[in-house]
Structure 1
Amino acid sequence: MYVVVNTIQAPEPELARIRRAFRDTAHDLDQFEGFLGIELWQDEGALLAVSRWSTREAFLAYPRSELFRKHHKGLRGEEAMTKAQIKMYEAESIA
């Protein structure tokens, strides 16, 4: 499994808007083979979008897609990912 954590830091009103946007569009990710799910984690002054994918390659299909550009106000994946605070992990579910 491949886990991607996108940490978004912003004032609370902006984080609330971003949470709504994630909730409104999360179902769009179901079209990507290998997408396993997404969770939103709240931290002080930050929102963590934690997505799970079957493989790294499955995840990389999303930032290369037109849907990504739609979700990110026209930004291409390469551009958005260099600006974002993203960490990626190989993971294993054991329970």
Structure 2
Amino acid sequence: MTEKNNVVIEDMIVAIAQIPQEHWGNLLQMIKLFQDSANPKPEKAIDPYLQLKEELENPDPIIEVARQKALSDLLKEWDNDDDVEEQKETWEILSSLC
């Protein structure tokens, strides 16, 4: 340890010695809380491929229903559109993708 570290440790010991012993438990909790916030645990890296695979294999039913409703609404909007030329172009694009 360096001399500076020794001085800091000595100062901490002096400060702790001035705290009534019945409060040491609270002090220890504060120190542990500080350690947790100063040294956060690294989050586990998530492989995007594995995450997507998991979502495809086990889809969330709420998300699936929302997607189906959004697609249904989009198709209704497209069906009600008066622009016949745009409908034909859209149909060609959609049919080429299927």
- Superposition TM-score, scaled by structure 2 size: 0.25
Higher share of residues assigned helix: 2
* Structure of greater Rg: 2
Greater relative contact order structure (CA < 8 Å, 6+ sep):
1
